Structure 1
Amino acid sequence: MSNTSDFRAESLYNVTGWTALVTGGGSGLGLIAAQALAANGARVYITGRRLDKLEEAAQSLGPDSPGSIIAIQGDITKKEDIQALVEHISSKEKSLNFLINNAGIKGIKNDFNKVEQTPEAISKSLFEGSQIQEWQDVLLLNTSAMYFVAAAFLPLLVNAKDTHGNPGSILNISSMSGITKQSQGGQFSYNAAKAATISLSQQLAYEFSRPTLNVRVNNLAPGYFPSEMTRPSQFPGTPEEIRAQRGIPVGRLGTAREYAQAVLGFAVNTYVNGATLIIDGGWLLAQS
């Protein structure tokens, strides 16, 4: 019979003494994830290209927080920066318990529904609406960089078995946009990249599950949450209006608390591997 004290929230979500890394952790959902881990006792490294945002995020915890947030500037689209990040953290830590591949960009949105609905007009809008390099930039940060970060930190993640009893795990952040059949008003490159993130997560979960590694890899697919990509001002009105205009059955954006709950669940549940959790307020149920 289980001891009911094990079911208390402070026990279920205890990450005291853990070391974590959140890419793109200086703002938005990445910062929420970093704060949630630090608030429960973890030492959290955050990285990104904007030093001012990182430093501001590192100071966002209250003085009584049991954990900490540490800023490291870097560009994970460059292998030399990833390697430097590994070397820096390795010089400070023996292992890594949790890696959140969060960094991403929105990309070009080409709403071809606004043009004349003839084959010629639609073709022109789609073909001329973006450049191939813009697609490559979106795929690079949203998917390709996740692969290289995961590969580079694999030894530190495996080392967590010696320091904490279980190997570390990886959480890749995709989106409901990687699952929907819609282009959501022409954001083809972003949706394609997020779909690729889900596929990458499944492949890494399969390959990293071998006995010599046992590193779990999971995927979180959020819907509309407040972030630099999703401004709350874009969702004005009553719940009824948000349902009608944005297609979210619950009639609101997700909250930081709800996002943190999902992140912490993936961090501590060592029986979850290769999973994708959708947290979108029911958007995919209603919109496909």
Structure 2
Amino acid sequence: MSLDVADDVALVTASSSGLGRASAAVLAEENANVVLNGRDEDRLDETVAELDALGEGSVVGVAGDLTQKEDVEALVTATVEEFDGLDHLVTSAGGPPSGPFMETDDEDWYHTFDLLVMSVVRLVREAAPHLRDGDGGTIVTIASRSVKEAIDSLVLSNSVRMSVVGLEKTLSKELAPEVRANAVLPGPHETSRIEELVEQSVERGEYDSYEEGLAARAEGIPLERIGEPRELGEVVAFLCSPRSSYLNGVSIPIDGGAGAANL
């Protein structure tokens, strides 16, 4: 099934790796024009080359730090100047450090708020006029299943990501009907972020080895495995497309059925 996003313009943040990259890859395969973003310019250039070969649209990279207001503004400006518009904004950001509440200081809290919340605030503020100018703009926020259920040793993600989903729900009302806003709530997927969290758990003595920690991540998942990044990317691309035209203001868990919440 074609998603009908060919020639559309999509900006995907934190997309040189991980779930942002997976989302950008599917959009590129669907022949959209995609702008990638990341802080590591070498890795960003490599990703641009890889994704540009996937479809008939153009893929470009714009380096920048999402915690810096000027970088966010420049990112949206560069996207609009490159492609003369913007149709889809996909917000992703690297996850905050793991750890319990009593080991988390003020600097950790403020940095996490800048990274997860203010990056989205600034991106939407800059992008909204352009999204409204098109034939059906979309915003898709990649959050976390921690919004539904708190995860041990992830106090920052458990707390701050709630603000992101609250913002997404508000935007779904304030920007409608020209723009739809939705969120995805990924469970564990095979990304460098999972590797980092497992390694931190091993360092804290929670597991004896990386393999043991990784296996623990799949416990309680009815599908008995960790997700593949592409599986989330396909949902993100669907939410960007007119195929999801009556979905607005929803937060979709993508966790293999691991969640225990009814809603």
- TM-score, normalised to structure 1, is 0.79
Report if aligned partners of 1:41, 1:66 keep a CA contact under 8 Å in 2: yes
Shift of 1:104: 2.9
1:185 has 2:146 as partner:
no
Residue equivalent to 2:165: 198
Runs of 5+ consecutive residues of structure 1 not aligned to the other structure: 1-8, 111-125, 161-165
Change in CA separation of 1:284 and 1:63 when aligned onto 2, cut-off 3 Å: closer
User: SS in structure 1 opposite 2:247?
Assistant: coil
Higher relative contact order (CA 8 A, sep 6+): 2
Residue equivalent to 1:273: 248
Residue equivalent to 2:194: 230
User: SS in structure 2 opposite 1:60?
Assistant: helix
Residue equivalent to 2:122: 148
Residue equivalent to 1:23: 13
* Amino acid corresponding to residue 76 of structure 1 in structure 2: L
Separation in 1, partners of 2:123, 2:91: 8
Residue equivalent to 1:78: 68
Runs of 4+ in structure 1 off by over 4 angstroms are 232-237
Report if aligned partners of 2:11, 2:79 keep a CA contact under 8 Å in 1: no
Report if aligned partners of 1:57, 1:69 keep a CA contact under 8 Å in 2: no
Q: CA RMSD in A?
A: 2.5
* Partner residue of 1:95 out of 56, 63, 85: 85
- TM-score, normalised to structure 2, is 0.86
* Partner residue of 1:174 out of 129, 143, 167: 143
1:264 has 2:237 as partner:
yes
Report if aligned partners of 2:29, 2:54 keep a CA contact under 8 Å in 1: no
Residue equivalent to 2:174: 207
User: SS in structure 2 opposite 1:65?
Assistant: coil
Aligned residues: 249
* Partner residue of 2:183 out of 219, 222, 227: 219
Report if aligned partners of 2:28, 2:52 keep a CA contact under 8 Å in 1: no
Separation in 2, partners of 1:23, 1:64: 19
* Partner residue of 1:43 out of 33, 41, 48: 33
Deviations 1:168-197 (A, max 9, x none): 1100111101110x3x22211111122211
Q: Which has the greater radius of gyration?
A: 1
Percent identity over paired residues: 29
* Partner residue of 1:55 out of 35, 38, 45: 45
Separation in 2, partners of 1:142, 1:104: 8
Separation in 2, partners of 1:207, 1:249: 37
